[in-house]
Amino acid sequence: PPVDLEEPVYAVCSHRWHGLQMIDYALLSLISYMDRKDGTGLEQGLVERLWPHRVANLSKVGNNIHRRWVEVEFSDCSPTTQGNSSCSG
């Protein structure tokens, strides 16, 4: 008999919290551990490439002995090709 190769659908995949999906939160948890090759840390350009469909601004990066963290501010605006945001009323 033929085998059904349909991929599993996880309940959490279609949910959004504050406009972000689970994959967005997974990326947020990973980027705090990403450094540039020169060791200078995370940069705004990476945040813009990871969320091209949102206006996302890297606001804080922290690093202490026990953990690293990052704070990214997302707005409800959409990015435009000029690099500015376009907000709907």
Q: 2-51 pLDDT, tens per residue? A: 777 777 777 887 888 888 888 899 888 888 887 777 766 678 888 888 88
Query: 68 has which bridge partners?
Result: 63
Calpha distance 20→17 (Å, rounded) = 5
Write down the pLDDT at residue 61.
79
Residue type, 46: L
Write down the pLDDT at residue 5.
74
| Residue 30 backbone phi and psi in degrees, to 5 | -85, -35
| Residue 48 backbone phi and psi in degrees, to 5 | -65, -35
